[in-house]
């Protein structure tokens, strides 16, 4: 994983004091990755985000500390799940999280890419996994986040060569139902019972079903 | 093995010739271009021919009858010539050199210079294209590069030779004539007002290494050659200590004219890079060609900005005296 200006694009760092950080921003001395991710900005925003979106993490040992992997999680219609998941991953492993689903909007899309969003496409997900990023892929939204939605089949085809970790995200405050912390629970790697060929489209469908069941199991 | 380097007068062509001179398997190195090589070459032979003199170029290549062609006869608009002239010379050099080399009968392998411009602007769904992404160029340079690839691919079909297209990220270096490099070194640089998309660049030494590695390994197919990491226009401008001037989406035409008056003509593909970014997935090339230690984009930019200013000779004489 590349390091520019002393910052790793995969592993997080402690935020700089505001003075040096501002000088660094004004001088352009911070890394950017080909997806538009800005790790220095994320480090600066992390204390505020983790204070606003409090998270309780369980199953942290299931999240890989290195290499490409996909975390498949449930989601509702809110915007706080990606933040809760990113805070949980950072707390569990110190890694940065990319999240599938950058909107195709001129300013908002660009801003979210700075924070780790990538396009919801087979091509960009494959590229991110190939270079060893940890990527969160949400299931289809469900009402009140009570269940595991349908997995995106087209994207699942990009994940058959990498570890897939199920995760359950249960809302808390301030964007959830009460002033409780969000609960993020990671499960064991999703495995198929029978041998499989990773490039077979049916394999992606089998993984999709297996991961949906795994997320459902974590939610109950 | 007899190797023909077209475009040997350019920075990359000359570097590749120098690297080939160090390889024992490159028994004969012959080059052609409309300008002479930029550095001293010890073993390589050079012939100065303008691609517009098609018959002369065809006769020369036929006489050489190379086993391998490293095709750098691909000219970037607003780099060393006008956009129209660059497209014309690229087409003439490609058709004449490659078809003559194939007809000469000894051709085994062709590597052509191409670029990430063939993918067109970054889309909402594919922002980091790999070699399987469908090319969709939107600029004359991107179309010109895709045509070069198509002509070379025709040799594979008709003559059964191996063909590799190296899709370079924009090559920047202190000695590389490049409209992007020239633009970024201006004291005031136009940048998009409402976007700041990432782009990757490539060091000229890495571009030359990739060409030689492709010849050595005979890779067949396209490969993205991209430096790790990226930068954004606003960031790159500040990295060089320059002043960014925001440009509204409809005002890039006047902005380009103003910049040209300041001494750095910017072609359409450079405006496309500034507005939409330009990156690519380069992991396939790293594996296929064994490219290690590619210089990161931001190191290449720093080297571009660290380039020493021109020192007036009069001052040097005074100091010596």
Question: Does B152 map to a domain?
Answer: yes
CB–CB of B125 and A126 under 8 A? Answer: no
Q: Which residues pair with B168 in a beta bridge?
A: B115, B225
At residue B92, the 3 state secondary structure works out as: helix
Model ipTM? 0.87
CB proximity A32 to B under 8 Å: yes
Alpha carbons B233 and B245: distance in angstroms, whole number = 11
Domain count, chain B: 1
* Phi, psi of B261, deg, nearest 5: -65, -30
pLDDT of B270 higher than 90: yes
Average pLDDT, chain B: 93
Quick one: pLDDT band at residue A151, thresholds 50, 70, 90? Answer: confident
Stretch among A16-30, A34-48, A90-104, A131-145 having the lowest mean pLDDT:
A131-145
Q: What are the tens digits of pLDDT across the range A44-101?
A: 999 999 998 899 999 999 999 999 999 999 987 667 889 999 999 999 999 999 999 9
**Is A109 in Cβ contact with B298 (below 8 Å)?**
no
**Per-residue b or e along A4-14, where b marks 16 or more CB atoms closer than 10 Å to that residue's CB:** beebbbbbbee
pTM of the model: 0.91
Position A129 in a domain: yes
Decide if A61 is inside a domain: yes
How many angstroms separate the CA of residue B277 from the nearest CA in chain A? 9
Closest chain B residue by Cα to residue A37: B198
Is the CB of B239 less than 8 angstroms away from the CB of A28?
Answer: yes
pLDDT confidence band for B148 (50 / 70 / 90):
very high
In a domain? residue B258: no
Q: What per-residue confidence (pLDDT) applies to B80? A: 86
**B8-63 residue pLDDT tens:** 999 999 999 999 999 999 999 999 999 999 999 999 999 999 999 999 999 999 99
pLDDT recorded at residue A79: 72
Per DSSP, the three-state class of B192 is strand
pLDDT at residue number A2: 55
CATH number of domain containing B104:
3.40.50.720
Query: What is the average pLDDT across B216-223?
Result: 97
Residue numbers in B near A128 (CB within 8 A): 128
Among chain A residues, CA nearest to B233: A28
What's the number of domains chain A is made of?
A: 1
A110 interface with B at CB cutoff 8 Å? yes
Closest Cα of chain A to B287: distance in Å? 12
Contacting residues of A for B125, CB less than 8 Å apart:
104, 119-121, 123-124
Domain span at residue B16?
Answer: 2-172+202-226+280-294
Whether B162 maps to a domain, the answer reads yes
Range of the domain at A63: 53-219
pLDDT at B319 over 90: no
Residues of A in contact with B196 (CB under 8 A): 110
Query: Any idea what the CATH number is for the domain that residue A138 is in?
Result: 3.40.1130.10
């Amino acid at each position: 994983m590349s390091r520019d200006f002393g910052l790793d694009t995969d592993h997080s760092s402690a935020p700089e004091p505001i003075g040096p950080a501002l000088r660094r921003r004004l001088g352009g001395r911070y890394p950017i990755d080909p997806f538009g991710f800005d790790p220095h900005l994320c480090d600066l925003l992390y204390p505020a985000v983790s204070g606003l979106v409090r998270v309780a993490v369980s199953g942290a040992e299931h999240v890989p500390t290195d290499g490409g992997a996909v975390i498949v999680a449930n989601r509702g219609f809110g915007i706080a799940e990606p933040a809760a998941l990113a805070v949980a991953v950072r707390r569990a492993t110190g890694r940065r999280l990319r999240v599938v689903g950058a909107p195709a909007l001129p300013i908002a899309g660009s801003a979210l890419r700075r924070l780790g969003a990538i396009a919801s496409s087979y091509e960009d997900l494959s590229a991110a996994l190939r270079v060893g990023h940890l990527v969160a892929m949400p299931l289809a939204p469900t009402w009140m986040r009570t269940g595991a939605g349908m997995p995106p089949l087209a994207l699942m085809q990009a994940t058959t060569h990498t570890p897939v970790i199920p995760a359950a995200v249960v809302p808390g405050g301030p964007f959830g139902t009460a002033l409780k912390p969000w609960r993020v629970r990671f499960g064991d790697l999703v495995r198929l019972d029978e041998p499989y060929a990773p490039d077979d489209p049916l394999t992606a469908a089998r993984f999709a079903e297996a991961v949906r069941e795994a997320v459902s199991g974590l939610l109950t | 093995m007899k190797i023909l380097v077209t475009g040997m007068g350019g920075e990359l062509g000359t570097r590749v010739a120098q690297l080939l001179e160090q390889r024992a398997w490159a028994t004969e190195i012959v080059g052609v271009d409309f300008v002479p090589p930029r550095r001293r070459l010890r073993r390589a032979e050079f012939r100065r021919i303008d691609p517009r003199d098609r018959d002369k170029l065809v006769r020369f290549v036929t006489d050489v009858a190379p086993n391998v062609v490293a095709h750098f006869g691909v000219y970037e608009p607003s780099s060393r010539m006008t956009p129209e002239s660059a497209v014309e010379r690229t087409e003439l050099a490609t058709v004449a050199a490659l078809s003559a080399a194939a007809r000469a009968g000894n051709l085994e392998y062709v590597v052509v210079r191409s670029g990430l411009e063939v993918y067109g602007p970054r889309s909402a769904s594919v922002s980091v294209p790999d070699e399987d992404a469908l090319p969709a160029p939107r600029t004359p340079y991107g179309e010109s590069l895709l045509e070069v690839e198509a002509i070379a691919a025709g040799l594979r079909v008709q003559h059964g030779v191996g063909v590799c297209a190296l899709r370079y990220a924009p090559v920047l270096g202190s000695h590389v004539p490049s409209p992007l490099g020239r633009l970024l070194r201006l004291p005031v640089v136009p940048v998009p007002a409402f976007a700041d998309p990432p782009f990757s660049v490539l060091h000229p030494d890495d571009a030359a290494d990739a060409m030689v590695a492709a010849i050595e390994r005979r890779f067949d197919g396209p490969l993205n050659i991209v430096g790790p990491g990226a930068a954004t226009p606003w960031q790159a401008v500040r990295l060089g200590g320059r002043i960014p001037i925001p440009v509204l989406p409809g005002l890039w035409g006047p902005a380009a004219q103003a910049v040209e008056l300041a001494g750095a003509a910017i072609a359409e593909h450079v405006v496309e890079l500034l507005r939409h970014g330009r990156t690519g997935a380069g992991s396939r090339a790293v594996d296929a060609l064994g490219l290690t230690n590619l210089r990161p984009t931001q190191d290449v930019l720093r080297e571009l900005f660290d380039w020493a200013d021109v020192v007036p000779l009069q001052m040097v004489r005074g100091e010596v005296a």
